[in-house]
Structure 1
Amino acid sequence: MAVPQAQPEEQTQARYFQAGTALHRIFTEAPYLPRCSDNKTAARVRPREYAIRYPYMQVNRSGFVSWLIFDLDHNRAMAWDDAGLPAPNLIVRNRDSGHSHLFYAIPPVCTTENARSRPIAYMKAVYAAFAVRLQADPDFHSGPVAKTPGHPWWLTHELHNHVYELGQLADYVNLANESPWGQSPRLDDVSHSRHCILFEQLRHYAYSIVNKERERGTFETFTRLLEAYAYNKNRFVKLGLGFSEDLPLSSIKATVKSVARWTWSRYAGTGRCNRGVMNLDKDLPLPERQRLSATRTHELRRKATESRIRGACRALQQQGKAFTQAAVARAAGISRQTVASFKHVLDEVRKIPETVTALVKPLAKAVDVKFGGHQVTAGPNAMSPPPIFPRNDGLPVPDT
């Protein structure tokens, strides 16, 4: 298949503002203030109306991937056709060397720390498989800076405006299933470096707990666990490994940050069946397992909220303050609407003093004293008639 005819520069620039074109999607999916420049550093930040005038610009937004961009360091811009892959939306070629960038439009995939890990891993697996078939740079990872389509420095070929689902692209390649958790820490190979020893120990510990933390915790709790583990492992002097001092705290924090982010966003597991904390039967239909899991999660959250409200009420009681819904919400760190939905907890706490009083009242009954070893001095009202205490039969006690 021959290389498509490049569009005239004036026509290409106009298509940035023509709805339904691939270039228009480049413009609308780009950041409002993308990085751009005359070189690959893209050190400037300009509004996207001006950024498209620079030969290099940031195409994907921070935290989102809307374009899979492949960097071909060879002059075969039609490598996708030779490999039997679908046509890219855009081909942007260097006029001199013939090296090019291929742009594939996909639905935006969120890549932030709070995003789901499976779509990210799936997208990266598709990208890696395409990079192999295209003989592209596997470490380019779609930029974030790429050749600006339509710039006069490059030859731009716009083929179509179809947005590929990741499943569509995956049908053309075989996805690899690699696991970085397949081996134990290789401490003998890195025994010369404290940083490498800690990194090996920490990354394998992270692999072992990340799936549980994704299910039951958050990225912050996962990071705190890694920090505690790293601090406990920072005992190189005591272990007698030939080092004169332990790692500084700044190095530990940097290592923890690197391992935590990579593992949370990219670790895909061993591929073995994981039934989760509920140990559900894998023969159950997926919707039923999801329903049971959601029910359990809701119950755990409800109990946790009740515990926070009870603790806030007790704290207000000790301070002698009335626990209104607003006061409890402030003490518990939750919204007043949430406290209102757990009004039964406030009613339970209010009943506790009444229950205690009811249990203490029977102790106020008179008790027959047969042995007066210690007498209490009579007060000023000693000549007044003695009080009448009720007896078990309900009759008054006669005067003595």
Structure 2
Amino acid sequence: MISLRNRFKKSLWREWTFKTELQYSYYQIISVFQVLIKLGLKKMYGINTNQELEIFNKNLMSKVKVSNADYYQIIRSKKLSCQYSHIQYNHLSGQNYIGLDCDYDVFELLEEKNVNPNLVVKNHDNNKAHLFFRLSSFVGTTPNAKIKPQKALRLLTHSLNNYLETDKAFNGVQAKNPLYKGFDIFSFSNDSYDFDELFECIPDEQIFVNKPEVSTQDDKEIIHVGNGERNVYLFDTVRFQSYKVKHKHKDFNSFYDEIERIYNDLNAMLSEPMDFKECQHSIKSIATWTWFKFEGDGKNRGVLDLAVNGHNLSLQDKQVIGATYSNQLQRETTQNALQATFNELVSQCIKPTQKAVSLSSGKSLKTVKRYWSKLEK
């Protein structure tokens, strides 16, 4: 693991091209930075920081939301975005970056944690900063995009927040603008990140999704979730509800209407609700899959109806068929019970490991392992 001291040495070597090896301590290096800050010089330290800034600029939309200290958002062209202190750094349709808000000394964070952000955008007068991790692949966050990458991205973002102790209330809509001259810019990596690379940096006990913050305004509950995770939050929450209400309906149309109502009611509670048209795809997907494929709450008694359809069968044949069906039903019941437990753990923001599912369901760990590959994750 490269220490912060060595990373700063590397930074200073590249920026100032000293002819001899640096012998400064960490505190001496920080003192040099503080002198430069007082001199009001433009600072761009790190591993090919300019290259990382070029990538950041290239990834921006042609028109982005920007703001200054008052956080009043306006739309400006990419060319003019460098004039504003805060910027919409991800696309409306998905994410190229995971952005985090460090409300304490960012140098302390980087010294203690084994992470290398692509960009660190720090205040001039203190060491609070925003961190940017560049993703290897663009992750769509609309209802039309694949849901599994969205789930992984949400889990990774929350887990990084847990591990780095950054601000969980940061919604990711706008962040400190690395193109703005009023900040100190650092870079500690020019390599993009796969999900697995970042997950490897995080201890297992820190890998979980936090419950969304809920506030009250005019006697109405407001749910605060990150801008890039609204779709996956709505999808998972409503999907779990759909499993519980399916057995109450006799036909698909009435079931669809209830799922639509649940989805729209929950969406209306978000601090930044999604557009009505965006919701329709997820509503249809949840209702269709649950109605035609999920059997967790169904009743299977008498489904073979052998008293009528098997009137030409002998008693022994009926017993064999019945036993075969019972064994199949038992397997399905076990799988459904494990699936329900898995879903419940996820809904409670608990990491659904095999051990956790075993303890919560009362099934043996051996049974859980046998059915694990069949569970929908």
Bigger proportion of residues as helix:
2
TM-score, normalized by length of structure 2?
A: 0.49
TM-score, normalized by length of structure 1?
A: 0.47
Could you say which structure has the greater relative contact order, defined with CA pairs below 8 angstroms and 6 or more residues apart?
Answer: 2
